Structure 1
Amino acid sequence: MSATIIEVALNGPWTRKHQPKIPVAADEIVSEAIVCCKAGASVVHFHAYDAKTGDQTTDVALIESIIAGIRDEVDALVYPAIRYMSNAEAIHASSGWRRYEHLAALGRGRKLDWLIVDPGSTNLVRYSDTSLEDAVVDINSPAAIKHGLNIAAEYGLNPTMAIYDPGYLRLAHHLVGRTTRLKTPMYRFMFSEQLTFGFPPRSYALRAYLELYRELAISAPWMVAGLGTNVLPIVAEAVVMGGHVRAGLEDFDLGTETGNLALVEATAKAIEAAGGKVASTAEARRILA
């Protein structure tokens, strides 16, 4: 059984309105990343926030300072979020360039390890949002997806690709195969309990994704993750099947009082209880080589 990568997704786009325990200020993000890495995480994902406004930002200088602060203390694979865009912006012909402008700059500066490329579009609707005021249409046009893969190829970055439903995986595999010099992707199966997309975190759902994997003859690594959910019940099965795990407040039940460190620690214990071994950062690099 190979080592299991733990990725920690520290905060996400939720703001503290929906996920009150997330780190927002740069120093909070850095400090939580460091303790989570010391507890077993080898990959760190974060959304940068403007501490004054509480809004997400893609300010390159701020993101660089967060990455540097993490790497000054721990060896980790680190990557930030893509640019949040309105629906109108996301369908514009320039959406790929706008989504990835800051990441291209970071790639040129050799600041990144992974790059988000979400290969599809979906409605992000919470069951509790009866008025649908906070519902989001997460739009990623085929041209924007290909642009992201081209950026990853140009700067030698591993694309991490969120799979919200089986169609995402089919398109991802198709476009990955048409992108030359692209490093190995990490496919991230996204489950949810509190939102309406895709599957809940169940054994049948994981098996369905892996059946499609076999049918498409995909050899890339994969991990279980989600939004508004707890994937711990399927971690043991994922470990036995050779998968990896994402933990953290971006993914976990919204409104939780649990923190990032506790989620990483619980994930590490679940991996070891299933007979697995938590991957070091060096092992994570080898898995994605």
Structure 2
Amino acid sequence: MRDEVIITCALTGAGDTVGKSEYVPVTPEQIAASAIEAANAGAAVVHVHVRDVETGQGSRDVALYREVVRRIRESGVDVVLNLTAGMGGDLVIDDEDPLKPVDGTDLVNALDRLPHVEELLPDICTLDCGSLNFGEGNQLYVSTPDMLRTGARRIQELGVKPELEIFDTGNLWFATKLVEEGLIDAPPLFQLCMGIPYGAPPNPALLQVMVDMLPENAQWASFAIGRNQLPWVAESVLRGGHVRVGLEDNLYLSKGVKATNGQLVERAVRIVEDLGATVAGPDAARRILGLKERTR
């Protein structure tokens, strides 16, 4: 079990959750306020997506990221910034003509997923380490080996820490190759993502298998979606990992009780401390993860 545990709060995601809870933040002001709430509740890291303010759908608009980051930085609240770089990998195909992308497709190359990272230079950005059948229907998430090498190389040049998003064991296999090839600076940071259809199911035995596959010097966290989110905090801590909670992955504090991001972080803090571990603050998180010092 870890002595110091970093809590990440994934604030909003890009999923179709806006109509399911009034607490899911949409506007840059709401997302930044939710980040500050999560930090004050005990999250050392906030994971940021942005949404189109009119539709509530996920967005790659650099201006939206710029406003969220500005509001967080100007708030005076100390928190490690983790911006998603996974948007731009969605491919929805047509049943009759698989080569014809249909509505919902947002597929761009590796570098076109990074302009907000290049401009804003967060502490961390995500790198989704493989392609995936994303739920039912004909939606795929596309992230090929060549795309990942290109993205990893650029993120390394920027001095940003990539969080290697692992949705299944094959993703982990390839991510360790990125480490071996020198495209990921030490210590590598892995996020083991459980329960996303159709990636790795939220099975504790499978989590242990994935932990056993990690490079020796790796820092890692794990989360599970939906009702498994809060129990998974304990699973991750007991197996030596950090944790993630937040409305990107789960909308409820308990059955029928909708949560805010701050409430989910507070519950995670309680679980971590009840297990006998210490919740890491932002400075401790920077030390543990080997993050570069920022001047802005």
- TM interval, shorter chain, is 0.7 to 0.9
CA distance in 2, matches of 1:184, 1:157: 12
String of CA shifts for 1:4-28, please: whole Å, max 9, x gaps.
Answer: 0000000101141455531001111
Q: 1:288 and 1:165 mapped to 2: Cα distance?
A: 23
Q: How does 1:101-112 map to 2 (within 5 A)?
A: 101-107=115-121, 112=122
**1:191–1:229: 8 Å Cα contact kept in structure 2?**
no
Contact 1:163/1:169, CA 8 A, preserved across alignment? yes
Total equivalences in the alignment: 271
Give runs of aligned pairs for residues 225-264 of structure 1, distance below 5 A: 225-252=223-250, 257-264=258-265
Higher alpha-carbon deviation: 224-233 or 277-286: 224-233
1:122-133 aligned within 5 A:
122-125=132-135, 132=137
Gaps of 5+ in 2: 92-100, 291-296
Cα distance in 1 for residues equivalent to 2:117 and 2:153? 12
| Structure 1 match to 2:276 | 275
Task: Give the distance between the partners of 1:50 and 1:277, measured in 2 at CA.
Answer: 37
Partner of 1:206 in structure 2?
Answer: 207
1:145 aligns with 2:148: yes
Shift of 1:68: 1.9
Distance in 2 (CA, whole Å) between partners of 1:20 and 1:146 is 39
Q: Whose strand proportion is higher, 1 or 2?
A: 2
State the SS of the aligned residue for 1:250.
coil
Mapped pair 1:119 → 2:129: yes
CA distance in 1, matches of 2:143, 2:81: 22
User: Which amino acid in structure 2 is aligned with residue 244 of structure 1?
Assistant: H
| Alignment partners' CA distance in 1, 2:168 and 2:183 | 25
Residues 94-105 of structure 1 mapped to structure 2, 5 A cutoff: 95-105=109-119
Distance 1:19 1:205 in 2: 31
| Counterpart position of 1:55 | 57
In structure 1, list runs of 5 or more residues that go unmatched.
Answer: 127-131
Report the TM-score when normalising by structure 2. Answer: 0.83
- Give the TM-score normalised by structure 1: 0.85
Bigger drift between 98-107 and 272-281 goes to: 98-107
* Paired residues of 2:233 and 2:244 also in contact (CA < 8 A): no
Which residue does the alignment assign to 2:83? 80
Q: What is the CA–CA distance in structure 2 between the aligned matches of 1:90 and 1:29, rounded to whole Å?
A: 22
Q: Deviations over 1:115-141 (max 9, x none)?
A: 111110111216xxxxx3xx6311101
Q: For residue 97 of structure 2, what is the aligned residue in structure 1?
A: none
In 2, Cα distance between equivalents of 1:103 and 1:250: 20
Change in CA separation of 1:96 and 1:223 when aligned onto 2, cut-off 3 Å? same
Q: Residues of 1 paired with 2:130 and 2:173: CA distance?
A: 10
Distance (Å, rounded) in 2 between the aligned partners of 1:122 and 1:229: 22
Most deviating of 24-33 and 220-229: 220-229
The match for 1:175 is 178
Q: Is the 8 A contact 1:229 1:251 kept in 2?
A: no
Relative to structure 1, the CA distance from residue 26 to residue 165 in structure 2 (aligned partners, 3 Å threshold; closer, same or farther) is same
60, 69, 72: which one aligns with 1:70: 72
Change (3 A) 1:159 1:258: same
Distance 1:180 1:50, change over 3 A: closer
Letter in 2 for 1:26: P
| Amino acid in structure 2 at the alignment position of 1:57 | S
Shift of 1:180: 4.8
Other-structure match for 1:188: 191
Task: Return the alpha-carbon distance in structure 2 between the equivalents of residues 71 and 147 of structure 1.
Answer: 29
Aligned Cα root-mean-square deviation (Å): 2.4
